[in-house]
Copies of this chain bind each other. A is one copy, B any other.
């Protein structure tokens, strides 16, 4: 019913509705990057975009659906920052290295917000529901992309055929988790240098 009403409204004012939805999403992404996905409430979003709570509800239906949309919006941004630049590199190790180094940049933070895949994993590991499901789906997609790049590196002869691709995925993923942890929680910027050296060694030995 709500869906019908929203569609009807969008039919009458297509641009305004979608601009408003985008603004809400953008605001929600900013709030979530500071307070986590669980820090999102319809109330704080409504206040920031200067709308009524029911106005925000009309676009998303529920807090959980809004959080799911935020995860999807983050995923699209992640694709732009990490997947797309990697595709411009040759298949194999150059592409794999580009993926990891772009992801490391996001995880260290600075100008950009914390990586939702990492922060969200900790936030939702014990919290079942559609938000967790969407996060798991995103993270699994991302891990599948890394795994594919590892396999392409083997096929291209850049990595030995004897490597355990899943173990290498675990090792690379853990290294980024370590940098995220040290730089954001311990405010220790040295880890990025340590991690880059470690990744070089990992690839040199495989």
Interface residues of A (CB under 8 A from B): 34-36, 38, 114, 118-119, 121-127, 135-136, 139-140, 164, 166-167, 170-171, 173-175, 177-178, 181-182, 184-186, 190-191, 194-195, 197-198
Contact = CB atoms under 8 A, between A and B. Distances in A.
Contacts of A194: 164, 166-167, 170
- Describe A's contact surface by its main secondary structure: helix
Copies in the complex: 2
A186 to B, nearest CB: 7
8 contacts: A35-B127, A121-B122, A136-B186, A139-B185, A164-B194, A170-B178, A170-B198, A173-B178
B125 A167 contact: no
Given A122-B118, A125-B114, A181-B121, A139 B186 contact: yes
A42 to B, nearest CB: 19
Contacts of A174: 174-175, 177-178, 181, 195
Given A170-B191, A177-B174, A126 B184 contact: yes
Contacts of A170: 178, 182, 191, 194-195, 198
A28 B182 CA distance: 27
A122 B119 contact: yes
